[in-house]
Amino acid sequence: MSGGDIKLVGFLCNWCSYAGADMAGTSRMAQPAEMRIVRLPCTGRINPLLVLKAFQEGADGVLVSGCHPGDCHYNEGNYYARRRLELLSRMMAVYGIEPERFRYTWISASEGARWAETVTSFTETVRPLGRLNLAGSGAEDDGRDQGPASGSRSPAAERQGT
């Protein structure tokens, strides 16, 4: 990614939101270009640590999108995801990450327009926040704190080390 710009990562369920993003593309719905999509079989496959890993590696925003509750391709995967992601979103500030940088949403395969709107609004939310300055992240880090999580090393960084 070109430096200076923000970097966004999207974890999308193959059965709904990924297909919704496909539909937005087929319908030629213009979207901001910062989003990089990772395809997954289910939002229930998303370990919260993966989201934190993305932030640790330099993502400025992470968007997770799956099937509407009740519509999971695997019956109940998104219920597990919903609990984990809700908890994770409340923990963001603790990690020194503005909560607006993380969002999870439910978008079905038929909601291409909704995907385009979501990407646009998420990008517009994160853009003014600029690059994430996460204390304790990255290999070049020497242990001194500079970011909003002053005083402590990010727990994300510690746990993801394994």
Partner 1 sequence: MRIGVFVCQCGTNIAATVSTERVASAAMALRDVVHAESIQYTCSDPGQRTVIAAAHKYALDRVVIAACSPRMHETTFQRTMAQAGINPFMMEMVNIREHCSWIHSDMEVATEKAIDLVSMGVAKVRGQTPLFSSHVPVVGEVLIIGGGVAGIQAALDIADAGMPVTLVEKGPTIGGNMARLDKTFPTLDCSSCILTPRMVEVKHHENIRLMVNSEVEQVRGYIGNFEVDIRKKTTCVDEKKCTGCQICEQKCPSKAPDEFNAGVGETKAISIAFPQAVPLVAVLRKEHCRLFIKGKCGICKKVCPADAVDYEQEDELHTEKFGAIVVATGYELFDWRQAYPHYGGGLYPDVITSMQYERMLSASGPTGGRIQRPSDGAEPKEIVFLSCVGSRDESIGRPLCCKVGCMYIAKQAILTREHIPGSRTYVFYMDIRAGGKGYDEFCRRAQKEAGAVYLRGRVGKIYPRDGKLVVMGADTLVGENVEVEADLVVLATGIDAAAGAGSLAQKLNIPYDQYGFLSESHPKLRPVETTTGGIFLAGACQGSKDIPETVAQASAAAAKVIVLLSHDELETSPMIAEVNHMRCIGCFKCREVCPYHAIEEQGLRDGRRVAVVIESLCQGCGLCNVACPPSVISLRGYTDNQLIEEVTEVLR
Closest CA to 97 of 32, 38, 155, 162: 155
Min separation Cβ 91 and partner 1, Å: 16
Q: Three-class SS of residue 8? A: strand
Min separation Cβ 142 and partner 1, Å: 20
Position among 4, 26, 128, 161 found at the interface with partner 1 (CB under 8 A): 26
Does residue 91 bind partner 1 (CB under 8 A)? no
Does residue 52 bind partner 1 (CB under 8 A)? no
Structure tokens at 33: 């270009």
Position among 110, 121, 146, 152 found at the interface with partner 1 (CB under 8 A): 110
The 8-class DSSP code of residue 105 comes to E
Does residue 16 bind partner 1 (CB under 8 A)? yes
CB burial of residue 122 (10 Å; 0-12, 13-18, 19+): buried
Radius of gyration, CA atoms only, the chain: 16
Q: Of the listed pieces 39-47, 89-97, 140-148, 151-159, which binds partner 1 according to CB under 8 A?
A: 39-47
Does residue 101 bind partner 1 (CB under 8 A)? no
Does residue 105 bind partner 1 (CB under 8 A)? no
Dist. CA 20–CA 111, nearest whole Å: 5
Dist. CA 72–CA 69, nearest whole Å: 7
Min separation Cβ 97 and partner 1, Å: 15
Maximal C-alpha separation, the chain: 48
Does residue 133 bind partner 1 (CB under 8 A)? no
Does residue 130 bind partner 1 (CB under 8 A)? no
Note the Cα 126 to chain centre separation in Å. Answer: 11
Residues near partner 1 (CB under 8 A) are 1-2, 7, 9, 14-16, 18-19, 21-26, 28-31, 33, 36-42, 44-47, 50, 53-54, 57-59, 67, 70-77, 80, 84, 108-110, 116
